[in-house]
Structure 1
Amino acid sequence: MEKSKKILIVEDEKPLNEALRAKLEDSGFDVAVETDGESGLKHAKNDPPDLILLDILMPEMGGLEMLTHLKHEDSLKNIPIIVLTNMENKESIADAVLEGVSDYFIKADIRLDDLIGKIKDKLETK
């Protein structure tokens, strides 16, 4: 049997974390959750995931700063990253894209089934 793919959620909104975790686990993924960029980065270094769902605005260390650190670590730079954000600020999204994110979703518009489909696509092409 194929080993479950590991997804790291780095998101500070608890209700969204719980919904994402439940949906991802129901879809057969192994899920870990961190609530800020600093703990998310430590987790990624200690137990590299197959994909990261990353919020932009968080306490301790924001998503863009975490993204920069990830992309400068040889062991982590090729992990697909999907950004989840409330910001429809095109500049912040553009910054994330320049740092190498695989895709992004605006939280207000997110459909979990669409996100699961995107995750599966990214993991198949990894």
Structure 2
Amino acid sequence: MEKKNKIFSGGGTSVLIVEDDEFLRKVISHKLASEGFKVFEAIDAQIALQLIKKERPHLILLDLILPGIDGFGFLEMIKKDPNLGDIPVIVLSNLGQKEDQDRAMAAGAVDYLIKANFTPAEIVQKVRDAVRKNYL
């Protein structure tokens, strides 16, 4: 039970942020770290894939507009991988169209957040909620 409580409070929980906007990535990274999360950062899908295989984060925060392989392709790739498919992914994007949201959720995202609608503190809470739901 102690391990679960530690994960839910942030301590011991690792999050990979896949975001090419350096400012936003750093803001979210700092907020998560200040709440006790272990944070990894990637600017594109290729770096993210290397980090996932090495670090196996508890959760991935994923932008959809990325250089190279876009977030949709990356999401579909990891969800098809039997070793990675169980990692929860929260999409964090500026794409607000219902079609984009539906596509991400159908590909396996556990939540879809439109960047402009959420503060860093609210994003941290969404991460906590997703980790709690996935690891209970």
In the TM superposition, what are the counterparts of 1:18-97 in structure 2 within 5 Å? Answer: 18-97=26-105
Q: TM-score, normalised by structure 2?
A: 0.88
CA deviation vs aligned residue, 1:55-112 (integer Å, no higher than 9, x gap)? 0000011111000111011111111110011111221211100011010111111211
Runs of 4+ in 1 over 3 A off after TM superposition: none
CA distance in 1: counterparts of 2:50 and 2:104, whole angstroms: 20
The equivalent residue for 1:116 is 124
Q: Which moved more, 1:1-10 or 1:15-24?
A: 1-10
Aligned residue identity for 2:21: E
> Contact 2:76/2:108 (CA < 8 Å) preserved in 1?
no
Q: Which has the higher helix share?
A: 2
Instruction: Give the aligned CA root-mean-square deviation in angstroms.
Output: 1.3
Aligned to 1:10: 18
SS of match in other structure, 1:119: helix
Q: CA deviation at 1:46?
A: 2.1
Deviation at 1:29, TM superposition (A): 0.3
SS of equivalent to 2:121: helix
Aligned-residue sequence identity (percent) comes to 33
- CA distance in structure 2 between the partners assigned to 1:83 and 1:54 by the alignment: 5
Q: Determine the C-alpha separation between the residues in 1 that align with 2:56 and 2:41.
A: 13
Query: When the two structures are superposed, what TM-score results if normalisation uses the length of structure 1?
Result: 0.94
